Amino acid sequence: MSSVGSPPAFRRPASSVRRATVGALVASLAGGLLAVLPAATAQAAPTLLSQGKTATASSTEGTAYAASAAVDGNLTGTRWASQWTDAQWVQVDLGQSATLDRALLTWEAAYGKSYEIQASDNGTDWRTVTTVTGGDGGTDEVTLSGTGRYVRMNGLTRGTGYGYSLWEFQVYGSTDGGGPTLPGGGDLGPNVHVLDPSTPNIQAKLDQVFQAQESAQFGAGRHAFLLKPGTYNGLNAQIGFYTQIAGLGLRPGDTTINGDVTVDAGWFNGNATQNFWRGAEGLTLNPVNGTNRWAVSQASSFRRMHVKGGLNLAPNGYGWASGGYIADSKVDGQIGNYSQQQWYTRESSIGGWSNSVWNQTFSGVEGAPATSFPEPRYTTLDTTPISREKPYLYLDGNEYKVFAPAKRVNARGTSWANGTPQGESVPLSQFYVVKPGATAATINQALAQGLHLLFTPGIYHVDQTINVNRANTIVLGLGLATIIPDNGVTAMKVADVDGVRLAGFLIDAGPVNSPTLLELGPQNSGADHAANPTTVQDVYIRIGGAGAGKATTSMVVNSDDAIIDHTWVWRADHGEGWGWETNRADYGVRVNGDDVLATGLFVEHFNKYDVEWYGERGRTIFYQNEKAYDAPNQAAIQNGSTKGYAAYRVDDSVDTHEAWGLGSYCNYNVDPTIVQDHGFKAPVKPNVKFHSLLVVSLGGMGHYNHVINDTGASTIPAGTSTVPSTVVSFP
């Protein structure tokens, strides 16, 4: 609707919801066009099928009133509006054939006086299910009968001089009519290697996979080693790309390796800065020489681990390493940081920590060094304000279950220090076990049935958005399962509901530009999820590297209270299919929701802003960033009168925001004369606070004039020495 001369938008109270029977003519079913199910057919309880699905329309009044707004779940904030003529329609693709039960149409002031609800199997040949006449706006609940994949509201007569305008077009039904019910549970597929202490040749199997994965940075292999509870002697599990090793016990102490879980950098001549995409979880280690080596960089998690000794985070020879993440772990001895440029450790217990390079941050860590930024560069919070550990697969006797840990507030130390962690167990029978070859339609059918998702190791192309619409749904990946959106769709959208848990997978942009890759909540979400937030953990996003990929904005957080716990959102600077326009991606992470917390945020190389924050009361504990290497010249990153786009920007509208331990680095190796005005940008307000910030010029390849706004010294005097410019607190 135009803002000039438009009638005021109004919504009827809930009592106005009615079934559209008075004045409704049920269309003839003659000719067999509508497939009516026999009365004896068993049906699942009707569920909302349309939310977040692909929607199209005959016209729109403008870009702000797209068809997608009618199925985004936002009942009062976004809407579809047509041009101001009759014979307009909006339709939704349910993704698969469904048995239709009812449609709920929530009209804005510009309503349909008469309209048809139509169904189609192919989006071309339509049959009229129901005709509504004498409509008077408000909310219409229209009973439906039959099947179809596509459902549309076909407007016949407008109720006003304006167009047709729907806050929401909701279609309810079940997918039983579209095929057999999908089973839950089952085997874990060919790329999950389940071991027990009696399994023969364990070391040979570990070595075989490592040889394939050691340098396969952009390869197609995906693997998970799952170790049943027990003791394993004499193992050295070397972990390569896209490989996960995890114990199948409920507690780390249930599965012990007398040996090592090793990451080193021999494949890259002792340089660990590209040791990405791998993980270790739920194990107790007794390292052979007393210290386990875990020389990783981004997108590598170390969770629920107990190391009965020390932990060395540097590669053999102490070459470069570029940062990582530890959570919910206990290291009895010292953690040797050595050459790690930055690192974040959360809710753990350690025997000590050596060395700081640029940015080492701790929250809720027993034994962590005290804050001493800028030298040594330690930033320490006594507790983590809110957290909930990543869900994980385990064995309860002979039955697989997924444990969903409970939320913790102001937590310190591990969740399992006192024995059994708090949370709930969900049997694998309540999960659809996704295996290579599964389609998006099948995945969405499983979700519509009420199943959770367990992605087994593999690569999954999706030609439609995966829609997570049900509260408390778990989407868990094993072995860095990878989702690639085809034809420019958004890979995954989460409704504005409580308690969704996304964990353990990689979204890899496709060659056709996607507007977004991951969305939490529709635009203008406003529900309160403080008691049961959505969490995103070890979910990584990549644009380019494995091949050309594009996405305008990688991750959008619209829901309030979400927790982003360890993500690497990366526009590639090497590999295949990268270049300033080849893997164009303007924005990394955009936060619109209020009270969002990020713990361990790694976002790098975007063409414009890496992180933008619009929501109130946002918090970030640890942020690591590099600006895009491949900017061709100063003009390419000119932002109005500002030189360069900030690595982390808080919008001027925000009144309250706080962040700790942030670093931005530049390596403008195409044009080393490029200068950024600042690494960080924020409004100067009493409740917008930053602690422990730094910027670094890597070898003099480009420079920063300031750290945040106009505060902080230029890196230019440091020349090529990679000496950071720091700000202890702002304002």
- 336, 315 contact by CB (below 8 A): no
- 243, 278 contact by CB (below 8 A): yes
SS3 per-residue string spanning 132-200: ECCCCCCEEEEEEEEEEEEEEEEEEEECCCCCCEEEEEEEEEECHHHCCCCCCECCCCCCEEEECCCCC
- 55, 91 contact by CB (below 8 A): yes
SS3 per-residue string spanning 520-583: ECCCCCCCCCCCCCCEEEEEEEEECEECCCCEEEEEEECCCCCEEEEEEEEECCCCECCCCCCC
Cα 565 to Cα 278: distance, rounded to the nearest angstrom: 16
In sequence order, the 6+-apart residues with CB closer than 8 A to the CB of 481 are 222, 434, 455, 456, 457, 458, 459, 460, 504, 505, 506
Q: Give the model's pLDDT for residue 23.
A: 35
Amino acid at position 196, single letter? D
- Catalytic residue status for 576: no
Give the tokens for residue 260. Answer: 């090592």
- 247, 237 contact by CB (below 8 A): no
Identify which of 551, 563, 680 has the alpha carbon closest to the alpha carbon of residue 625.
680
Cα 511 to Cα 488: distance, rounded to the nearest angstrom: 8
Cα 477 to Cα 275: distance, rounded to the nearest angstrom: 20
Could you read off the pLDDT of 359-408 as tens digits, one per residue?
Answer: 999 999 999 999 999 999 999 999 999 999 999 999 999 999 999 999 99
Identify which of 644, 656, 635 has the alpha carbon closest to the alpha carbon of residue 695.
644
Cα 124 to Cα 150: distance, rounded to the nearest angstrom: 9
pTM, whole model, 2 decimals? 0.81
**How many CB atoms lie under 10 A from the CB of residue 74?**
22
Cα 724 to Cα 731: distance, rounded to the nearest angstrom: 19
- 262, 293 contact by CB (below 8 A): yes
Q: Characterize 510-529 residue by residue with b for buried, 16 or more Cβ atoms within 10 angstroms of its Cβ, and e for exposed.
A: bbeebebbbbbbbbebeeeb
Give the tokens for residue 309. Answer: 């000794």
In sequence order, the 6+-apart residues with CB closer than 8 A to the CB of 378 are 353, 356, 360, 361, 362, 368, 369, 370, 371, 372
The phi, psi pair for 416, rounded to 5°, reads -115, 10
Give the tokens for residue 634. Answer: 């100063």
Choice among 61, 389, 612, 626 that is catalytic:
626
SS3 per-residue string spanning 339-385: CECEEEEECCEEEEEECCCCEEEEECCECCCCCCCCCCCEEEECCEE
Q: Give the model's pLDDT for residue 176.
A: 58
Token look-up 């009942």 returns 75
Identify which of 459, 402, 33 has the alpha carbon closest to the alpha carbon of residue 216.
459
Identify which of 535, 547, 708 has the alpha carbon closest to the alpha carbon of residue 625.
708
Cα 229 to Cα 241: distance, rounded to the nearest angstrom: 25
Q: Give the model's pLDDT for residue 122.
A: 78
Cα 476 to Cα 474: distance, rounded to the nearest angstrom: 6
- 15, 139 contact by CB (below 8 A): no
Identify which of 687, 693, 688, 723 has the alpha carbon closest to the alpha carbon of residue 708.
693
Whether the bond into 7 is cis, omega within 30 of 0: no
Strand partners, 260: 236
The phi, psi pair for 222, rounded to 5°, reads -140, 130
The phi, psi pair for 69, rounded to 5°, reads -70, -20
- 266, 231 contact by CB (below 8 A): no
Q: Give the model's pLDDT for residue 617.
A: 98
- 58, 82 contact by CB (below 8 A): yes
Q: DSSP characters for 46-79?
A: PEE--TTSEEEES--SSGGG-GGGGGSS-TTT--
Q: At 45, is the secondary structure helix, strand, or coil?
A: coil
According to DSSP, residue 446 is labeled H
Q: Give the model's pLDDT for residue 6.
A: 29
Token look-up 């170390």 returns 302
Q: Give the model's pLDDT for residue 123.
A: 81
Identify which of 518, 525, 642, 542 has the alpha carbon closest to the alpha carbon of residue 590.
518
Could you read off the pLDDT of 563-610 as tens digits, one per residue?
Answer: 999 999 999 999 999 999 999 999 999 999 999 999 999 999 999 999
Antiparallel, parallel or unpaired: β 89-107 and 165-174: antiparallel
How far is residue 289 CA from its own chain's centroid?
38
- 61, 1 contact by CB (below 8 A): yes
* Positions of the chain with pLDDT under 50: 1-43, 177-178
Strand partners, 461: 484
